[in-house]
Amino acid sequence: MISETELISWRRMFHKNPEIGFTEFWTTARICEYLNKLPNCKLLYGKRLYENFPEPELLKKWDDNIYKSAKEQYKDDEWIKKLNGRTGLIAVIKGKKEGPKVGFRVDIDGLPIEESNKASHIPFKKGFHSTNNNMHACAHDGHITIGLGLAKTLAENADESKGTFYIMFQPAEELLLGGKIFSKLSITKELDYFFPVHIGIPEERKIVCGSSYFADKRYNILFKGRSSHAGGSPEEGKNALLAACNAITGLYGISRHSGGSSRINIGAFTSNNASNVISDKAQFELDLRGETDEVCKYLKQQALNIINGASKMYDVENEIKFVADAETAVNSTELISIVRRACFDAGIEKNAIVDHSLDSGSEDATFIMNEVINSGGLATYIGIGSPTFGGFHNKQFDFDEDVLFQGVKILHKIAMIISERA
């Protein structure tokens, strides 16, 4: 079995170099490099992973120039060269005997947040804080680590197991795009069991056997007005910035819905005009979440009204581009008892194991879950609780590293129970 020290050192290595969605070249390379040394472990990455992909336009999210820069930055990195411009990978570990196909999903991308350099922030204090402008502020560094630990444990013990295990290192979860891409891989349809996982949720040391997530819809909004001299002829301008500000205060004010909770947020706002020029262009990203698909659709309809109304108010035009979404998914009740049993086997106390919980975040693993379930498989989303600090998506985010070892144990137990039952 893997050692806690090893897990912690991995986590800290990944924490130091976070990469945002579709740019995880270094991260993918490091995962490949490590896994490649394991016995019984086959890697699918780059061309091998994405060839014959049914919806090629989804693959356009990776940018050739960014890949080129990465290759320049890491000139001697043989693994980056092999990636062929794509991030993410799947480790395939075959047991000695035939058996079910069991998938686990961990996500690998960071967030565009500058990490705290406060003395009280442990990654900074201990010297493993981010060395770039991004940050692992959602524990994906921990997920990678658990994926590696699980892969190692399964690979080294492949002789004892039945079935095939797929450790899916998914890119671009924060963008809600990597999950959709992975859901289209031919492997996904063939999975008999599928377990996405998140650590730090709940924030106590409890395990949730079946976490549910909000539906999510993301859009890019662009307002297009007309510039003019802000002093000399302000009346000739059509103020795109003002329309956008008005839309934003309106969007946050969309009414609550009695059918379930909702979330609204705006990010990445820019209007580049000089201050003596009326703004002719302003854009932002809009993120809408609903406890149910109905609530999410309601938010979308209200948002369209608000954006179109704000355009009308200032006589500007707009473009609304769909960016990404996430579905809700229903956990397979058949798996709850398996996860419960695995936790128990892993030494978790009974009353620390929870069947269900609802998380107001969103997850694109739901696309994979729904694909597995629609193809006749079973899926449940596992939450491995642990104390966190600073709050998710905050620049002071951190988590108790004890969860890493526990995470590997629980997932490995799940694999073993399924393997034994086969």
What's the rounded Cα separation, in Å, for the pair 350 and 340? 8
Report, in angstroms and rounded to the nearest whole number, the Rg of the chain calculated over CA atoms.
23
Q: Which is nearer to a copy of itself, 1 or 358 (CB)?
A: 358
Q: Which is nearer to a copy of itself, 332 or 396 (CB)?
A: 396
For residue 252, state whether it binds a copy of itself (rule: CB under 8 A).
yes
Binds a copy of itself (CB under 8 A): choice among 242, 346, 373, 408: 242
User: 199-238 mask for a copy of itself (x: CB under 8 A)?
Assistant: --x------------x-x-x-------xxxxxxxxxxxx-
In angstroms, what is the minimal distance from the CB of 328 to a copy of itself? Answer: 13
For residue 309, state whether it binds a copy of itself (rule: CB under 8 A).
yes
Residues in 137-196 that interact with a copy of itself by CB under 8 A:
137-138, 174
In angstroms, what is the minimal distance from the CB of 133 to a copy of itself? Answer: 9
What's the rounded Cα separation, in Å, for the pair 141 and 129? 12
The rounded Cα 312 to chain-centroid distance in angstroms is 36
Residues in 387-406 that interact with a copy of itself by CB under 8 A:
391-395
Q: Which is nearer to a copy of itself, 2 or 20 (CB)?
A: 20
For residue 311, state whether it binds a copy of itself (rule: CB under 8 A).
yes
Q: Which is nearer to a copy of itself, 289 or 413 (CB)?
A: 289
Residue 355 tokens, joined: 């069947």
Terminal CA-to-CA distance of the chain, rounded, Å?
A: 23
For residue 376, state whether it binds a copy of itself (rule: CB under 8 A).
no
Q: Which stretch binds a copy of itself (CB under 8 A): 8-16, 44-52, 53-61, 272-280?
A: 272-280
For residue 417, state whether it binds a copy of itself (rule: CB under 8 A).
no
What's the rounded Cα separation, in Å, for the pair 223 and 310? 9
CB 317 within 8 A of CB 223: yes
What's the rounded Cα separation, in Å, for the pair 361 and 216? 9
Q: Which stretch binds a copy of itself (CB under 8 A): 35-43, 50-58, 332-340, 358-366?
A: 358-366
Q: Which stretch binds a copy of itself (CB under 8 A): 34-42, 76-84, 264-272, 409-417?
A: 264-272
Question: What 8-state DSSP symbol labels residue 114?
Answer: P
Residue 53 tokens, joined: 């992909």
**Signed CA dihedral, 16, 18, 23, 28: sign only:** positive
How many CB atoms sit inside 10 A of residue 82's CB?
15
**Signed CA dihedral, 68, 69, 70, 74: sign only:** positive
In angstroms, what is the minimal distance from the CB of 300 to a copy of itself? Answer: 13
Q: Which is nearer to a copy of itself, 1 or 304 (CB)?
A: 304
Binds a copy of itself (CB under 8 A): choice among 120, 125, 253, 333: 253
* Max CA pair span of the chain: 80
User: 74-93 mask for a copy of itself (x: CB under 8 A)?
Assistant: --------------------
What's the rounded Cα separation, in Å, for the pair 322 and 328? 18
Pairing of strands 97-107, 193-199: parallel
Binds a copy of itself (CB under 8 A): choice among 293, 345, 359, 402: 359
Q: Which is nearer to a copy of itself, 97 or 229 (CB)?
A: 229
**Could you identify the residue written with the tokens 């946050």?**
252
**How many residues bind to a copy of itself according to rule CB under 8 A?**
84
Pick from 320, 257, 262, 325: nearest CA to 289: 262
In angstroms, what is the minimal distance from the CB of 137 to a copy of itself? Answer: 8
Q: Which is nearer to a copy of itself, 3 or 308 (CB)?
A: 308
Q: Which is nearer to a copy of itself, 67 or 314 (CB)?
A: 314
What's the rounded Cα separation, in Å, for the pair 108 and 52? 23
How many CB atoms sit inside 10 A of residue 334's CB?
10
Binds a copy of itself (CB under 8 A): choice among 24, 280, 364, 398: 280
Binds a copy of itself (CB under 8 A): choice among 362, 380, 386, 419: 362
| Residue 275 burial (C-beta neighbours within 10 Å; 0-12, 13-18, 19+) | exposed
